[in-house]
Amino acid sequence: MSFYAIDAWWWPYLFIIVGGWFATDVWRFVGVYFGGKLSEDSELLVMVRCIATALVAAVIANLVIFPTGALAATPLWMRLMAGFAGFAAYLAAGKRVIVGIIVGEAVLAAGMLAQYDL
């Protein structure tokens, strides 16, 4: 069965509910159920956290190295400099995420303004 199998006004909404919401939320509920029974120090939960962190790092690296939109017009060195500055600010501020985000964005915005003389 495909998205175009039924020609009714309600079909796209049902398709989104079943394909998008139900298919992912079932696994979230199962994870919450079984996750509550695991110790936070268990090897399985440590592995899950490591994989989740690695996936987030990979997505961020992909966005920095291969950006789309307006960010693609900036040179790679500028995006890397903003990322390193944000990470350094994050560590210097006692691991406050918002500080790292603001500093990284400020460095990137300053570099873009300097490059394009806006």
Encode burial over 37-57: b for 16+ CB neighbours within 10 A, e otherwise.
eeeeeeeeeeeeeeeeeeeee
Which pLDDT belongs to residue 12? 85
* Confidence (pTM): 0.65
Which pLDDT belongs to residue 118? 57
Residues in the chain with pLDDT values less than 50: none
Which pLDDT belongs to residue 70? 86
**Whether 89 contacts 68, CB under 8 Å:** no
Domain boundaries along the sequence of the chain: 1-37, 42-66, 68-118
Dist. CA 115–CA 75, nearest whole Å: 10
Which pLDDT belongs to residue 1? 63
| Beta-carbon contacts of residue 50 (< 8 Å; ≥ 6 apart) | none
The tens digit of pLDDT for each residue in 47-74 reads 988 999 999 999 999 999 999 998 999 9
Which pLDDT belongs to residue 42? 85
